[in-house]
């Protein structure tokens, strides 16, 4: 009974497998004769079919060869590789008397993801669980061409619509990873959707023209012309070929800047969950004869990858220079590869390397003697490395004995952009702090390989050469990417620290704070020496309702701007609100502030109150000195204020100077730098003309330190009125308790009346 169920199951599975076309086989493709290279029917000649002879009858095989990204010196794909369901089905019985293939075995159609996956990367079809195949690791070449899982191994991405949580890959907290390996696979957007024949009229809308002013060329070839001359230089559609990012990022402050500075994958591929290769060392072999490898995101000690424990891995975010000369930040996986080459530079076959190391499943005794550092007769991964000249020479001489001429070690290191494996939902990061924080993903050196066989400096591959903001260092026992301490042109808020700005600001603030503290303490200490009623006072209406409103609006605004500003600058240290909330708030408050400042400017102008801020040039020095003398001496002795406060003259000369500086220098500085930062992506020329973000950002930061300094001093000086709170009370209800000068105490009291 049980067996019969199993049989039924197997039959059902088989039927499913057969009825599911592995290829998008077309129902329309005509029947045709299958020819060999000599142009003879294969059923009579018995020779293998030849695609140029067979397909070339109708499709221009010469043109296709000349216009194909799959035909080059490294690889000669033929039509059958991508377009025929099963060439083996073309047996002698597959043909009718007329010599044409029977309808049901034609099986010709467009390429599919499954077919691309046979050469390029791990593609898992719907209904099959994602698991790591045994040969996942068998990387032979450091490129996506020529080995099966290249794209997956070099980037850690898998093309499958299955949720990561349902795969067979042994991942930490897998249950929470309820998003697909690849959202495009999930949504049935196959490889050919982005990598299509360049002149396919059905795909024409995805290919943008070469002319800058042509978005889409409507003069597409007719279907028949296309089928005769399909341009096989496949397109590389970018995200923007299909997506309209501005329609989907409402939550993101400063969208344009983000789109300009970031590859979409920076946020949309925040983690990869397949093992991504860090390095492969073929200068040594393990006992299976395989090179040594290390993967990012997976613990691979002894067990096969299929059951190894993985955590996933956040690809390295690195600034790089795009082909058109722009600077962007995007995710990469750098890979180092070490191998033996002979005199001609040809790679020594793995089999030869294996024979140099092992015999009959054991290391040769002399190899073991040289490499077994801890003497336990077993070569562990950290011992299996050619560290010194002696080791290199031993293996080189053994290889020479096996017939390799002039063996030497070659190292290659390159970076692979993580462009696939795009996910959705919870898989996409919205955490600003991944970049906007002190210890963010933009920080820290990258260890590309924790070994450097033979000390040979590796050649740097073309994509690694586009990396910016650091340099490759190969020394000692590792290859690293060392980031520059202060990147010159990548200013990331919350992440970038510019020492001159922070230090100057902090210094001035600390100075003011200490000054206020000591002044206050001394006032407190001397409080009993002063008589509280030494001077006569009078209650005067000093501040109109509008003046009070704008003052408090300004105070609240500056305070809120300072708080949000510091939240943006120190997101990892302050946790008052979310980063994006702080940015939005800061932007909005800035507009409110500027509007408030403009209204009050108009008020002061219209009501001539602006004259309050203009110091009287005559007698300025003496009155200034008197004010300074008051703050340094008189205040401790309980002397009256040197400047009388009247409705016409509310500010003492020291205040006048301070506010003049504040309103004419600091405020415009903050507004200008703020506007430049805000509009930096809309008018980048304006920002660049004044030194770019790396100058303007720190300047704005310094300005905020100065405002904070002012704020502290201002708060303290409020307490220096007739009583501790009389100034504060005045700014609330408008009435101040002002000292009435006894005649002769000041030179200029009320002189302006």
Q: Which three-class secondary structure state does DSSP give residue 280?
A: strand
Q: In 50-65, which positions are buried (b, 16+ CB within 10 angstroms) versus exposed (e)?
A: bbbbbbbeebebeebb
Q: Compare residues 20 and 326 and give the one whose CB is closer to another protein.
A: 20
In angstroms, give the least distance from the CB of 715 to another protein. Answer: 20
In angstroms, give the least distance from the CB of 490 to another protein. Answer: 27
Angle between helix 667-678 and helix 693-718 axes, rounded to 10 deg: 140
In angstroms, give the least distance from the CB of 165 to another protein. Answer: 7
Q: Compare residues 269 and 583 and give the one whose CB is closer to another protein.
A: 583
- Residue 392 C-alpha from the chain's centroid: 39
In angstroms, give the least distance from the CB of 649 to another protein. Answer: 25
**The token pair that represents 615 in the structure block:** 């110091």
- The helix (run of H) or strand (run of E) holding residue 716 is helix 693-718
Do 83 and 110 form a contact (C-beta atoms < 8 A)?
yes
User: Which residues make beta-bridge pairs with 480?
Assistant: 447, 473
Q: Compare residues 371 and 585 and give the one whose CB is closer to another protein.
A: 585
- How many whole angstroms separate alpha carbon 322 and alpha carbon 318? 12
DSSP secondary structure code for residue 410 in this structure = E
Contacts of 269 (CB under 8 A, 6+ apart): 157, 315, 331, 418, 419, 420, 421, 422, 423
Q: Compare residues 204 and 687 and give the one whose CB is closer to another protein.
A: 204
Q: Compare residues 125 and 718 and give the one whose CB is closer to another protein.
A: 125
In angstroms, give the least distance from the CB of 239 to another protein. Answer: 16
Do 142 and 412 form a contact (C-beta atoms < 8 A)?
yes
Do 722 and 738 form a contact (C-beta atoms < 8 A)?
yes
In angstroms, give the least distance from the CB of 383 to another protein. Answer: 45
The DSSP line for 58-96 is: TS-HHHHHHTBTTBSSS-B--HHHHHBS-GGG--GGGB-
Q: Compare residues 269 and 589 and give the one whose CB is closer to another protein.
A: 589
In angstroms, give the least distance from the CB of 556 to another protein. Answer: 8
In angstroms, give the least distance from the CB of 188 to another protein. Answer: 5
**The token pair that represents 486 in the structure block:** 């202060």
In angstroms, give the least distance from the CB of 234 to another protein. Answer: 20
Q: Compare residues 191 and 394 and give the one whose CB is closer to another protein.
A: 191
- How many whole angstroms separate alpha carbon 552 and alpha carbon 68? 70
In angstroms, give the least distance from the CB of 581 to another protein. Answer: 4
Q: Compare residues 97 and 104 and give the one whose CB is closer to another protein.
A: 104
Q: Compare residues 180 and 453 and give the one whose CB is closer to another protein.
A: 180
Q: Compare residues 98 and 250 and give the one whose CB is closer to another protein.
A: 250
Contacts of 685 (CB under 8 A, 6+ apart): none
Q: Compare residues 552 and 683 and give the one whose CB is closer to another protein.
A: 552
Q: Which three-class secondary structure state does DSSP give residue 558?
A: helix
What value does the CA radius of gyration of the chain take, rounded to a whole number of Å? 38
In angstroms, give the least distance from the CB of 177 to another protein. Answer: 10
Do 157 and 192 form a contact (C-beta atoms < 8 A)?
no
Summarize as ranges the residues that interact with another protein (CB under 8 A). 16, 20-21, 125-127, 161, 163, 165, 178, 180, 186-188, 424-425, 545, 548-549, 552, 556, 577-578, 580-581, 584-585, 732-733
Contacts of 30 (CB under 8 A, 6+ apart): 106
In angstroms, give the least distance from the CB of 54 to another protein. Answer: 26
- How many whole angstroms separate alpha carbon 576 and alpha carbon 494? 14
Do 320 and 467 form a contact (C-beta atoms < 8 A)?
yes
Q: Compare residues 196 and 446 and give the one whose CB is closer to another protein.
A: 196
User: Which residues make beta-bridge pairs with 95?
Assistant: 101
Q: Compare residues 144 and 581 and give the one whose CB is closer to another protein.
A: 581
Strands 327-341 and 276-281: parallel
User: Which residues make beta-bridge pairs with 478?
Assistant: 475
Strands 470-475 and 478-483: antiparallel
Q: Which three-class secondary structure state does DSSP give residue 45?
A: helix
- The helix (run of H) or strand (run of E) holding residue 329 is strand 327-341
In angstroms, give the least distance from the CB of 21 to another protein. Answer: 6
In angstroms, give the least distance from the CB of 534 to another protein. Answer: 29
Contacts of 90 (CB under 8 A, 6+ apart): 34, 42, 49, 101, 105
Sign of the C-alpha dihedral computed for residues 337, 342, 343 and 345 taken in this order: negative
Q: Compare residues 127 and 361 and give the one whose CB is closer to another protein.
A: 127
Q: Compare residues 270 and 454 and give the one whose CB is closer to another protein.
A: 270
- How many whole angstroms separate alpha carbon 681 and alpha carbon 693? 10
CA-based nearest residue to 279, from 334, 317, 331: 334
In angstroms, give the least distance from the CB of 53 to another protein. Answer: 31
In angstroms, give the least distance from the CB of 9 to another protein. Answer: 14
Q: Compare residues 485 and 545 and give the one whose CB is closer to another protein.
A: 545
DSSP secondary structure code for residue 276 in this structure = E
Q: Compare residues 322 and 607 and give the one whose CB is closer to another protein.
A: 607
| 15 phi/psi in degrees, rounded to 5 | -60, -40
Token pair 């691309």 is found at 116
**The token pair that represents 281 in the structure block:** 């060392």
Output the furthest CA–CA distance in the chain (Å, rounded). 130
In angstroms, give the least distance from the CB of 185 to another protein. Answer: 8
């Amino acid at each position: 009974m049980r067996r019969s169920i199993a049989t039924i199951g197997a039959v059902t599975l088989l039927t499913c497998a057969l009825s599911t076309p592995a290829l998008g086989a077309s129902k329309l493709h005509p029947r045709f004769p299958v020819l060999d290279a000599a142009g003879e029917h294969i059923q009579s000649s018995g020779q293998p079919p030849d695609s140029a002879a067979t397909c070339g009858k109708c499709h221009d095989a010469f043109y296709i060869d000349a216009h194909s990204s799959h035909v080059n010196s490294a690889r000669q794909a033929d039509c059958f590789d991508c377009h025929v369901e099963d060439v083996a089905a073309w047996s002698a019985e597959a043909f009718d008397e007329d010599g044409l293939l029977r309808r049901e075995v034609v099986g010709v159609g467009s390429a599919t993801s499954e077919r691309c996956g046979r050469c390029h990367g791990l593609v898992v079809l719907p209904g099959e669980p994602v698991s790591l195949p045994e040969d996942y690791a068998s990387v032979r070449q450091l490129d996506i061409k020529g080995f099966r899982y290249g794209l997956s191994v070099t980037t850690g991405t898998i093309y499958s619509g299955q949720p990561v949580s349902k795969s067979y890959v042994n991942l930490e907290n897998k249950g929470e990873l309820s998003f697909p390996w690849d959202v495009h696979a999930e949504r049935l957007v196959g490889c050919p959707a982005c990598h299509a024949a360049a002149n396919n009229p059905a795909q024409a809308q995805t290919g943008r023209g070469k002319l800058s002013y042509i978005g889409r060329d409507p003069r597409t070839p007719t279907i028949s012309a296309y089928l005769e001359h399909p341009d096989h230089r496949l397109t590389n559609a970018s995200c923007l070929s299909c997506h309209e990012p501005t329609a989907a990022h409402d939550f993101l402050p400063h969208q344009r800047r983000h789109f300009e500075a970031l590859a979409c994958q920076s946020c949309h591929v925040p983690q990869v969950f397949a093992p991504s290769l860090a390095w492969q060392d073929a200068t040594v072999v393990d006992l299976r004869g395989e090179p040594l490898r290390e993967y990012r995101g997976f613990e691979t000690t002894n067990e096969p990858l299929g059951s190894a424990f993985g955590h996933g891995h956040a690809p390295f975010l690195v600034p790089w220079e795009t082909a058109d000369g722009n600077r962007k930040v995007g995710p990469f996986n750098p890979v180092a590869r070490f191998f033996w080459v002979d005199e001609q530079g040809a790679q020594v076959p793995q089999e030869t390397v294996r024979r140099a190391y092992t015999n009959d499943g054991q290391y040769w005794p002399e190899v073991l003697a040289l490499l077994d550092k801890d003497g336990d007769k077993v070569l562990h991964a950290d011992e299996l490395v050619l560290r010194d000249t002696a080791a290199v020479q031993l293996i080189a001489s053994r290889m020479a004995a096996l017939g390799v001429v002039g063996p030497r070690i070659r190292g290659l290191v390159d970076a692979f952009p993580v462009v696939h494996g795009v996910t959705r939902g919870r898989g996409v990061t919205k955490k600003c702090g991944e970049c906007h924080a002190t210890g963010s993903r933009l920080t820290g050196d990258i260890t590309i390989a924790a070994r450097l066989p033979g000390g040979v400096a590796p050649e740097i591959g073309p994509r690694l050469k586009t990396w910016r903001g650091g340099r490759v260092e190969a020394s000692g026992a590792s290859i690293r990417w060392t980031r520059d301490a202060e990147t010159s042109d990548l200013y990331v808020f919350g992440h970038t620290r510019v020492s001159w700005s922070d230090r100057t600001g902090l210094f001035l603030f600390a100075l003011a704070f200490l000054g206020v503290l000591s002044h206050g303490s001394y006032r407190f200490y001397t409080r009993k020496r002063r008589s509280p009623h030494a001077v006569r006072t009078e209650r005067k209406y000093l501040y109109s309702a509008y003046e009070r409103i704008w003052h408090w609006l300004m105070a609240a605004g500056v305070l809120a701007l300072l708080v949000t500003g510091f939240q943006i600058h120190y997101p990892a240290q302050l946790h008052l609100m979310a980063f994006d909330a702080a940015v939005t708030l800061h932007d909005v408050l800035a507009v409110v502030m500027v509007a408030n400042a403009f209204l009050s400017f108009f008020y002061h102008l219209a009501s001539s109150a602006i004259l309050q801020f203009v110091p009287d040039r005559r007698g300025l020095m003496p009155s200034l000195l008197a004010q300074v003398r008051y703050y340094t001496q008189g205040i401790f002795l309980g002397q009256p204020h040197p400047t009388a406060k009247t409705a016409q003259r509310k500010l003492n000369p020291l205040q006048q100077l301070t506010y003049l500086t504040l309103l004419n220098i600091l405020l415009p500085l903050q507004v200008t730098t703020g506007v430049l930062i805000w509009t930096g992506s809309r008018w980048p020329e304006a920002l660049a003309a004044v030194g770019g973000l790396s100058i303007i950002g720190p300047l704005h930061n310094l300005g905020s330190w100065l405002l904070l300094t002012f704020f502290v001093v201002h708060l303290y000086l409020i307490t220096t009125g007739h009583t501790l709170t009389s100034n504060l009370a005045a700014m609330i209800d408008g009435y101040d308790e002002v000292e009435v000068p006894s005649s002769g105490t000041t030179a200029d009291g009320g002189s302006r009346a």
